Structure 1
């Protein structure tokens, strides 16, 4: 039985659009390390902390947002039947007016951050943080946050 590889071609197109400036990008800091541009390699030990996210300047400050962080290459770039894997899902982000447009959420995440940890001998993985405007008419069920998630649910 063979496992079909997921089609990540749309994600590849999105990555190119991020790199060439077609799409707006989030500001991301991990500890004192600021990720200045898409494609920057970050040492694995720095990716054990929860990132701080900053909204692009043109994003409306009055909205509520959902963030999803994906590992496109799990478990290996050359063999990724599990990918993309959600490393973090958090809803109800608001843009802080006091902290350089930092995205902040008062509620716990739907899926807590799983720190970056490609297997030994694996090439560096590509991680994408996506931000979506939440529809205020579609509330997130409260029991969804209480359940937690398994690796299978994150693929």
Structure 2
């Protein structure tokens, strides 16, 4: 399974970079690989948020690997517990070589890009800053792999 995480971001705090590096190290072994791509945010205060989001969407689309199953992370998406998320990834990996998660910027993912995604998943009905979402999705991908490999990381 090859996973890409496309994240609208500017400079991330050290704690985010440290956590991401740790989870990427845990994930990237054997048949699993995960990469994190930072895409510069468009923050022109003289333009409406939707215009900035559209510019970000174009940058995101340019980074989506070919033949990828695209998952938008959005609070309006489908809620999955960790077991169902692991099953979802496993089933998706049977049909797609690449799985791409999109994390929007401060204003979210442009509605057209969100609608074009193959799936929309919610990590919570609460809204989180995109820096924290990056850490959460990496942890959940690692947790899903541990579930699929019967590793004791996940406990019920």
Structure exhibiting the larger radius of gyration computed from Cα positions = 1
Instruction: Name the structure, 1 or 2, with higher relative contact order (CA <8 Å, separation 6+).
Output: 2
What TM-score, normalized to structure 2?
0.25
What TM-score, normalized to structure 1?
0.25
